[in-house]
Amino acid sequence: MSDEPNLLGDYVRARRELVTPEQVGIPAVGLRRVPGLRREEVAMLAGISADYYLRLEQGRDRNPSVQVLESIARVLRLDDEATAHLLRLGAAKPRRPRRRPRRETVPAGIAQLVATLPLPAHVEGRYFDVLAVNALASALSPRLAVGANRLRDLFLDPAEHALYPDWESATVDLVAGFRESVGTDLDDPRFIELVGELSLASPRFSRLWARHDVRTCAGASMRLDHPQVGALQLKVERLGVSAAPGQVLVIHHPAPGTDSADKLALLASATRTRADADRGVRTP
């Protein structure tokens, strides 16, 4: 058996445990000792032998065909993104020893854009580290600061937790997006350190990480309970930075003419006033 991490086996096992017999048309009869489907049930429904499926889960066969993986994806009720992730795991080749990762640097033009945008904006790196941020984003959440990490703050900082009325669903989406972002590169020291810290400090992160959910962090709506302006309903756009693969420009914006738009404008005005005061600028 290879010394390489068994990414494919870990993934299908985690997803198998989330599918109930009823979801695939198998009568649940008698006491079941395992959560979700049994291995032999997945094999039967996918049209492969139980022994072959066992070898896949145990990492003794790491070169399944696309057809086999697609059959397993169908049985495990994977969506398009999760199926694509499964195919990537099945196609992964043994990796060479990694070089020391380079520090993520925001392109100068993007940093300038973030600073001048009239909306809350920041740049995240591959591991959801905050690399650049404007003043209005920091006013939205003081945890949005260069050097912070969105995962660490959302799971471990009580003030950030309180900012999200829908905290539980927000954590589900963030962990699934994080797994999509890192892909199969799970031997990076930064990744190992971050996942290890969160797994020990947050039982919820540990549970969500064990599910192996995969989802692209695309545009979405979010609710915030801001301590100064109250309830906010904002849309979140995530735009890839072409000059720096892995980096994403995140912009929060309200629907025009809404109560949230008025509240964000009020927050922006207060932020400008504080900035002017810090610079010693007198306002008319």
DSSP per residue, 90-137: HH--PPPPPPPPPPP---HHHHHHHHH-SS-EEEE-TTSBEEEE-HHH
pLDDT at 94: 54
pLDDT at 239: 93
Model confidence pLDDT, tens digit, residues 131-168: 999 999 999 999 999 999 999 999 999 999 999 999 99
pLDDT at 279: 66
- β-partners of residue 270 are none
For 53, phi then psi, to 5°, come to -65, -40
Alpha-carbon gap, residue 79 to 164, rounded angstroms = 27
pLDDT at 103: 80
Alpha-carbon gap, residue 248 to 131, rounded angstroms = 10
- Burial bucket for residue 179 (CB in 10 Å: 0-12, 13-18, 19+): buried
Residues in the chain, total: 284
pLDDT at 107: 95
pTM for the model stands at 0.80
pLDDT at 93: 60
Map residue 213 onto helix, strand or coil. Answer: coil
- Please list, in sequence order, all residues whose beta carbon lies within 8 angstroms of the beta carbon of residue 229, skipping any fewer than 6 positions away: 263, 264, 266, 267
- β-partners of residue 252 are 236
Distances (CA, A) of 177 to 73, 79, 208, 211: 19, 14, 12, 13
C-alpha 59 chain-centroid distance: 26
Per-residue three-class SS string for 153-190: HHHHCHHHHHHCCCHHHHHHHHHHHHHHHHCCCCCCHH
Q: The tokens of 229 are what?
A: 């302006």
Q: The tokens of 130 are what?
A: 């905050």
Give me the tens of pLDDT residue by residue for the chain, a chain 284 residues long. 456 778 888 899 999 999 888 888 887 766 777 788 888 989 888 888 888 889 888 888 878 888 889 989 999 999 888 898 888 888 866 555 555 556 889 999 999 999 999 999 999 999 999 999 999 999 999 999 999 999 999 999 999 999 999 999 999 999 999 998 887 777 778 888 899 999 999 999 999 999 999 887 777 889 999 999 999 999 999 999 999 988 999 999 999 999 999 999 999 999 988 876 766 655 45
pLDDT at 59: 86
pLDDT at 101: 59
Alpha-carbon gap, residue 259 to 93, rounded angstroms = 52
